[in-house]
Amino acid sequence: MGRRRSGRPVWLVAAALLLLLGGCRIGTSDNVSPPPRAGAWSIDYLGPPGQVQMADLAAVSATEAWAVTEKRGSAGSWKPALLRLLNGRWSAVQIPAQLRAQPWLRLAAAGPRSVWLYPDAWGGVLPQKTGDAPSGPWERCPALRWDGTRWHQVPLDFPPVDLDVVSPDDAWALDASGAARHWDGTRWRTVPLPARGIDIEARAADDVWVAGDKAFDDRPQQPAAVHWDGSGWQLTPLRRYQAPYDAEVADNGSILSGIRAGSAGDAWALGVHSVIDGRDDDGREEPREVDERILLHWSGTRWRPVPGPPRPFRDKTYGQAVPDGTGGMLLGAWAYRTAEGTYFRIDAPPNTAGWQETSLPPLQRRSLTVEEADVIPGTHTILAAADLVGHDGVTQPAVIRLTLDAP
């Protein structure tokens, strides 16, 4: 989430306030009737079907965006490719030689003259605990920064797992140990964190958020949200997550894995509280995993738990959450939450499985998964990197677009 330029999981999208015909809205209860619609995704770009999937996306202006795809090769190998949207047309762009051998590439951007392409040491898989080694086949190589005309090499002496950019000489990254690194235009320096970082969101030189977790000797791991005010990190207070009183706990822990901020007083964090219940009820042989999804909103002074969307359009996981700058946000791929706390559903593109009805028989339908999304600067239009998957398992990479009208 945060501007999760490191792709999965972490978790993104944004939207504008929605117009509902007739003015009927729903609240946050588990209604049995479908929530009212607020619009549908449309397909902006569709790649050839095969073993290709979308990995990341960054919208940098009203007329420009970048995306990364990954193609599965033999023996589980992956080969990245780069796409660029310019003046209404998506086209392939050659990856610079320094990064062509890296199987997992991610994007970060602070405008058309500061687009970063960098290797993801985790290979798109979140670390589970402090000290985990990178799961991706990362080898020391540079990041690259596009200045609007050409690529510039930025040295990396650490394995990056997430990166966000304020300006060409002001960037933040998290390394594989969960430590924060700051780029000042000349070098990286380590800036110790009071918790382990998983996802980073840099809005300004004095406004940076990190989501992650904090370990304790005498109690389960707890989620952590840390803020940089320009001079130091502040660990913000969060509630303590505990296992249910009636559980026979085999394992228990909580984590924040994504964070996105629309302004100094409007940020969202996603996470999960996981409990492995070792009770052997009804002859059950395997431990039961119980996950509580965490959705938090920052108002400028404190974090507040927020109810998730109604049951008719809940994803198994929220996936991503990004504020739109007006107090609203898009949660996952299918739900938009207004500043007042009401939810609307978003339909899938035509001829895909999802919220939109289709005349296609089930065996011809395709499901849609959003990997990354971003609001086009200065607009309420969202671009998202998505995968369309057919019943035969064939994947087709796509960029989808959502334009929402304010009420």
In this prediction, residue 116 carries a pLDDT of 97
Residue pair 343/355 in contact (Cβ under 8 Å)? The answer is no
In this prediction, residue 245 carries a pLDDT of 60
User: For residue 153, which amino acid is it?
Assistant: Q
In this prediction, residue 130 carries a pLDDT of 45
The token duo for 36 is 């009212």
Residues, the chain, total?
A: 407
Q: Give average pLDDT by consecutive 10-residue segment, the chain, 407 residues.
A: 39 26 33 63 92 94 96 82 96 94 92 94 58 54 94 93 95 93 96 94 96 82 94 94 66 86 88 75 58 90 90 67 75 86 87 76 82 87 90 89 67
Q: What is the DSSP letter of 338?
A: -
Alpha-carbon dihedral sign for residues 11, 53, 314, 245:
negative
**pLDDT 10s digits, 325-354:** 677 788 888 888 888 888 888 888 888 887
Alpha-carbon gap, residue 89 to 49, rounded angstroms: 19
pTM of this structure: 0.84
Count Cβ atoms below 10 Å from residue 199 Cβ, excluding itself: 31
In this prediction, residue 121 carries a pLDDT of 82
In this prediction, residue 77 carries a pLDDT of 78
